Amino acid sequence: MEKSRDSQETTASVPHRLQGTGVCPGVIMGTAFVIKHDEPQIVERDIGSDEIDHQISMFEEALIETRRQIRDVQANLGKQVGVRDARLLDAHLMVLDDRAFVEEVITRVRTEKRNIEWVVSEVSEQYVKALSAVQDDYLRERVADIKDVARRIIRNLTGEKSVSLDEMTGKRIVIAHDLAPSETASAPKGMVLGFATELGSPTSHTALMARALEIPAIVGLHNVTGVVMTGDEVLIDGNRGILVLKPTEQELEEYGRVAATRRHIVEGFSNLKDQPAETTDGKRIVLSANAENIDEIDSIISYGANGIGLFRTEYLCMSGNCDVSEAAQTRIYSEVARRLAPAPVIIRTMDIGGDKYLENDGAEREPNPFLGCRSIRLSLRYPDIFKEQLRAILRASAEGNVRLMYPMISSEAELDQANALLEECKNELRQQQVKFDADIQTGIMIEIPGAALIAGRLAKKVSFFSIGTNDLIQYTLAVDRVNDSVAYLYDPTHPGVLELIRLTIKAAHDNKIWCGVCGEMGANPLMVPILIGMGIDELSVAPSVVPLIKDVVRKLSLKDAEALAHAVACAESSAEAGKLCRKLLKRIAPEVLELI
């Protein structure tokens, strides 16, 4: 049942506005429905030897019931947002099917002789702590999957009822500490107006579900569940990441105008689909899309992107198929290439943290996985698995539009080793008389400062560069951009960052290869003129951002871009650089400022 704020409560000390991170655009006003999870009450107790089999039997029955519940939720979710997005719950089913998890629970019940619900809680908490320590946004977000599944199992063991959004009595804006996809799917279709959570990131389930449902969403709203009560009227601005509690008439009028303006601007972008991303004085930019699965191809085509500039193959592993076969990978890569032909498709080899593989091998956890055995380092450590992926990409290259890219290259030695394995794969396919592109373009991501500084050497061994600005900025400035305490230091206009980008572009052009950007800097309308002014050849962004960036490019002159790049490089502060960027954008594309 919904509970309202006590009528006697004074709100003088309650913040009127909260700032978070917008992860799905749009403005919506509505009544709040606040979810505060009460964890299942678990009492630890000893059990006798004669109870062990019964406890294990209870566990197995709870697994079956939990799997049924998740399947039901998945079916409901599929009806609401489609099969692709219903797959978000595959991670939940993975936990239930994880034999390591199940066997550990059973073993501890037998050896420790403790009640089953307590053991499930303890084992799941181990998993949560392990993933929480990983320096990888996506893997950290999987903590929510484990918590949600463990909560369901324990409730099925104890008979406690779980909280569900189906208790909502009308259309509501959902406020929560965090949300699992199974929770969002339990709401009747069309009842959720928007999401606002305390936790989350652009890769969280809340963000993914909001985009699937096409509703505004904000994450990172600290203590929002302590400020907003069920029944409160709230307004959320998914563009700017602002939640307004009990908005005034003036604020409602203001946001009404803003929302109408944004809709009009976005609708105006639709006529750019078949237009080239070309500056007013003829500089053509290749505008590609970042993607992570085959279901995004329709969006890539509809938004007018020129192929895929970054296909993140780690999604194949993260979605639950860590042992995906060479044949399965070949089918996926080939279908992507066929559907987008003749536009290019750049397939990046897996870029994941080292913990997932190392834990399975019994290796000791690294103290700092973000600087440890991840990405290309992990691939080179496991050459047999790496070669399976390389062969799959080569097989797909028979379509004629596939390119290959290695992530996180830091030295010539790494690049040489990767290329040597690629040549081995080519020879193996030749012996099997398998058709492939023998001259497949091979490139690398420049995301480590050391790589940028030796870009001239690396350029002699590849066909292209793609700058991963997210990691390049973090590694250059020693700033974790998801850490609130240092996020203010994350600065794409820092002179050191800009100099590394300039050096990379120059090294590419000096060696007659092209250079692109596939990080968030390329999706920022304020930063795009700087990149173009420094000579960037390609930008790869999220499919939905393509029209926005294309609009900026088509209203920009190369002369103005070059002048801005020079001025920003000479700016005395980030604030001054920001003003210069806004000044140019206001002059050439003032409508874009309304969206950012």
Catalytic residues: 205, 518
C-beta separation of 497 from 551 below 8 A: no
C-beta separation of 77 from 85 below 8 A: yes
The full DSSP string for 14-28 is: S-SEEE-EEEE--EE
CA 302, CA 49: separation in Å to the nearest integer? 63
Separation in Å, CA 335 to CA 6, 330, 458: 57, 8, 31
Q: Residue 544 corresponds to which amino acid?
A: S
C-beta separation of 269 from 306 below 8 A: no
For 412, the token pair is 């010539």
Q: Residue 524 corresponds to which amino acid?
A: N
Q: In 3D, which of 464, 455, 393, 381 has the Cα closest to residue 422?
A: 393
C-beta separation of 198 from 177 below 8 A: yes
Q: Residue 45 corresponds to which amino acid?
A: R
CA 120 to chain centre: 29
Side by side, which strands form the sheet with 217-219? 17-19, 242-245, 233-237, 27-35, 172-176, 192-197, 217-219, 21-24
Backbone torsions φ then ψ of 434, nearest 5 degrees: -95, 135
List, in sequence order, every residue forming a beta bridge with 31; answer none if it has no partner.
Answer: 233
- Does residue 516 sit in helix, strand or coil? strand
C-beta separation of 434 from 395 below 8 A: yes
C-beta separation of 307 from 339 below 8 A: no
C-beta separation of 374 from 356 below 8 A: no
The full DSSP string for 398-439 is: GGS-EEEEESS--SHHHHHHHHHHHHHHHHHHHHTT----TT
CA 91 to chain centre: 15
Backbone torsions φ then ψ of 539, nearest 5 degrees: -125, 130
CA 385 to chain centre: 24
Q: Is the peptide bond before 342 cis (omega within 30 degrees of 0)?
A: yes
C-beta separation of 213 from 81 below 8 A: yes
Asked whether the CA dihedral 248, 250, 256, 261 is positive or negative, the reply is: negative
Alpha helices in 511-573 (DSSP H): 528-533, 546-554, 558-570
For 194, the token pair is 């928007």
The full DSSP string for 167-204 is: G--S-EEEEES---HHHHHTSPTT-EEEEEESS--TTS
